[in-house]
Chain A
Amino acid sequence: MKYRTVFDIIGPIMIGPSSSHTAGAARIGKVARTLFAEKPDQANIYFYGSFAKTYRGHATDVAIVGGILDFETSDERITEALTIAKDQNIEVNFFEEEAIAEHPNTAKIILSKGNHKLELVGISIGGGKIEITELNGFALKLSGNHPAILVVHNDRYGVIAGVSHVLAKYEINIGHMEVSRKERGKEALMVIEVDQNVENPLLVELEKLPNIMNVTKIHD
C-alpha cells in the first residue's frame, strides 16, 4: 500500500498552493539536498509532464529550490526561496522538458559543487507524498519518509551479507531493501530503509567493508 499513515491524508502542514506541485516539489528538493550533504554551487532542475506545464503557477520552481535550501514544506521562507538561493550564490536553472515521463509530476535535479555531482529523479504522487525513482543513473524506489542508508558498491557476492551483518551488530532492523545495478559486475546501489535513525560510527564501519565505494544516509 502506497499510503501507510493517516498523516499522509490529513497533512502535511504546508505553504500553498499545491500539495503535489508545491509541497511534493519541496520534499523532492530536500531529499536531493540531504543526499548531496552540502550546499551546491549549481542546481539544474528539469520539469516533465504537468510539472513542466504548470510549474510557475504552482510555485513548483520556488518550492523545489526551497527544498534544495533544506526547508521543510511548512517553512515560510519557501516563498522567498529564489531570492535566498541567489543570496547564497547558488546558480539555479530551470528546464521545461517535452519528453513524456512515466508519472505526470516528475522532476530531475542535478546538484553540483566542483567535482561533486548528484543527479536525482523524483515523482510527486499526490497529497505531498513523493518517491525518488532514480539516483545517479540507478533505478530505485525511495519514499524519503523513513530513515535510509544508501550504499554504492561493486556488484560482487558477499557485499550485501557484509552490510547486513554490520546492521545486525548495531541492532538496526531493515524495513525495506533493494539493490540496483547498471551492469553486471560493475557499480551497484543498495537502498536500505530502516526503522530508526543511524549513527555515524555505523556508516564509517560500512565504508571500511571491501567493495564499498560510498555510504550516505537519509534521516527522518
Chain B
Amino acid sequence: MFKNVAELINLAEVNEKKISEVMIEQEMEVTGRTREDITSQMEKNLHVMKAAVERGISEKVRSVSGLTGGDAVLLQDYINRGNYLSSETVLDAVSKAVATNEVNAAMGMICATPTAGSAGVVPGVLFGMTKRLKPTDEQMVRYLFVAGAFGFVVANNASISGAAGGCQAEVGSATGMAAAALVELAGGTPRQSAEAMAIALKNMLGLVCDPVAGLVEVPCVKRNAIGASIAVVAADMALAGITSRIPCDEVIDAMYKIGQTMPEALRETGQGGLAATKTGRELEAKIYGESQKRK
C-alpha cells in the first residue's frame, strides 16, 4: 500500500505502470474485489458526474437558497460566441466545474471528488478536455483512478475536510488531483503527475473555508471554477517539464500544518472571512429568515 506520493511514483516507475494501474491493483489487493467490479463502480461514478455536468450546462439550476445557479449556462453561451480571452478548453473545464457545483447546491445528485463542496474540479477538468483529447471511456475511468490515488495520499496524510483543514483541503486537494490526473490523460509521466499536483496545490495553500451562511455555495462554486483553471495550467506546466522545488509530499504536509493552525472561524463554521462580510451577513439573515418557514 503506498503511503505517500513518492512511494506511488516509485511503484509506477519501477513496475513501468501508469498511476491509474497502481491504484486499481492496490484496490484489488486491499478489498479482494475483481478488476471488473472495481472499474464498473468507477464507471458508475463517471456516469453520475456526466449527468450532473450535462444538467448544469443545459438547465439554469437554482439552489434552495437562491444564492447560486445559472452561471454554467452563462459561460457556455459565452464560449459559443467565440470571443473569449483565455481558451475554449479552460473555459469549458471551468463551466463544467461550475455546472457540477450548481447541481450539488440544488440538492441534485453528484459524486463527491473528494468532497461534495469540491465535486466540480475533477469532472470539470475531465469533461472540459473531451473535445481536445477525445478520451475513450476507459481513459476517462483511468483519469478518475489517478485523481483517486493522489486524493488517497492527501486524505491519509493531511485532510480533505474543510472543517478540519479549510478550503485548501477540499478545493485545493481536488485541484491537485485533477492536475495530476490530466497529466496522465494527456500522456505525461507519473513523475509529471506529481509535479502537476505539487504546482497546483501550492497555489491553493492557505485557502480558508468561509461559506456564506454556512452553505456550500458562496464562494465554493467559484472556487471550483478557478480550481479547474489552475489544474489545467498546472498540468500544462508539468508537461512542459517544469518541476516543483518543494516535493509533492512536502507540499501536502505544509497544507496539513497550515490547516491545523487555521482559526476555527475559517474552517467551515460560517463565522469568518466572506461569511462575516456585510453582504455575507445580510444574505445569511435573509436565508435563515426563509428557511425557518420550512419547519
The interface of chain A, by Cβ under 8 A from chain B, is: 1-23, 49-50, 53-54, 56-59, 74, 76, 79, 82, 104-105, 125-128
Whether the Cβ atoms of B115 and A127 lie closer than 8 Å is: yes
Which B residues touch A7, using CB under 8 A? 41-42, 45, 148
User: B222 at the A/B interface (Cβ < 8 Å)?
Assistant: no
Q: A16-B216, A127-B114 are in contact. List 14 more A-B contacts (CB 8 A).
A: A1-B156, A3-B156, A4-B30, A6-B27, A6-B42, A6-B145, A7-B42, A13-B110, A14-B110, A16-B105, A20-B161, A20-B162, A21-B216, A58-B216
Known: A20-B115, A53-B271. A13 touches B48 (CB 8 A): yes
- Provide the bound-state CA to CA distance between A82 and B144, in Å: 35
Least CB separation from A12: chain B residue: B112
Nearest to A79 among chain B residues (CB) is B107
Contact between A16 and B104 (Cβ–Cβ < 8 Å)?
yes
How many chain B residues touch A (CB < 8 A): the figure is 65
| Complex interface: stretch among B187-195, B197-205, B262-270 | B262-270
Question: What mask results when residues 127 to 150 of chain B are scored 1 for a CB within 8 Å of chain A, else 0?
Answer: 000000000000000001101110
Considering the chains assembled together, what is the distance between the CA atoms of A112 and B215 in angstroms?
Answer: 31
**A50 x B111 contact (CB < 8 A):** no
| CB <8 Å contact, B148 and A15 | no
- Name the CB-closest residue of A to B46: A10
Given contacts A17-B116, A17-B217, contact A9 B152 (CB under 8 A): yes
Check B107 against A16 for contact (C-beta < 8 Å): yes
Q: Per DSSP, are chain B's interface residues mostly helix, strand or loop, or mixed?
A: helix
**Whole-angstrom distance between the alpha carbons of A18 and B103 in the complex?**
12
CB of B261 closer than 8 Å to a CB of A: no
Q: How far is the CA of A1 from the CA of B26 in the complex (A)?
A: 14
B3 within 8 A of A: yes
Q: Which residues of A contact B38 (CB under 8 A)?
A: 6
CB–CB A13/B111 < 8 A:
yes
Question: Which residue in chain A gives the minimum CB-CB distance to B116?
Answer: A19
B112 touches A54 (CB 8 A): no
CB-contacts of B145-170 with A (<8 A): 145, 147-149, 151-152, 155-156, 159-164, 169
Contact (Cβ within 8 A) B269 A6 = no
- Closest CB in chain B relative to A12 CB, distance in Å: 6
Residues of B contacting A9 with CB < 8 Å? 113-114, 147-148, 151-152, 155, 160, 177
* Contact of B116 with A23 in the complex, beta carbons under 8 Å: yes
Interchain nearest-CB distance for B152 vs A (Å): 5
How far, in Å, is B51 (CB) from chain A's closest CB?
Answer: 10
Q: 12 A-B residue contacts at CB 8 Å?
A: A3-B152, A3-B156, A4-B30, A6-B148, A9-B148, A9-B160, A10-B122, A13-B110, A14-B116, A18-B117, A20-B162, A57-B214
**Contact call B112/A50, Cβ cutoff below 8 A:** no
**Given A104-B163, A128-B112, CB of A54 within 8 Å of CB of B107:** no
CB distance from B246 to the nearest CB of A (A): 23
**CA–CA, A105 to B161, complex, Å?**
10
Shortest C-beta distance, A75 to chain B (Å), equals: 10
- Asked if B17 is at the interface (CB within 8 A of a chain A CB), the reply is no
Query: Which residues of B sit under 8 angstroms from A10, Cβ to Cβ?
Result: 42, 45, 111-114, 122, 144-145, 147-148, 151
Task: List the 6 closest pairs (A to B, CB-CB), nearest first.
Answer: A54-B214, A126-B161, A16-B104, A9-B151, A6-B148, A17-B216
* B residues 84-132 touching A (CB-CB < 8 Å): 103-117, 119, 122
* B161 and A127 within 8 A (CB): yes
CA distance A2 to B155 in the complex (A): 8
Asked if residues A57 and B161 are in contact (CB atoms below 8 Å), the reply is: no
CA distance A53 to B145 in the complex (A): 35
Cβ of B213 within 8 Å of any chain A Cβ, yes or no, is yes
One of A11, A19, A104 near B267 (C-beta < 8 A): A104
Complex Cα–Cα for A127 and B294 (A) = 27
Chain A residues, Cβ within 8 Å of B31 = 4-5
Instruction: Assess whether A22 is in contact with B116, with CB atoms less than 8 Å apart.
Output: yes
Contact A2 B156 (CB under 8 A): yes
Residues of B within 8 A of A14 (CB): 109-112, 116
Interface pair B270/A126, CB less than 8 Å apart: no
Q: Which of B3, B109, B116, B151 has its CB near the most chain A CB atoms (within 10 A)?
A: B116
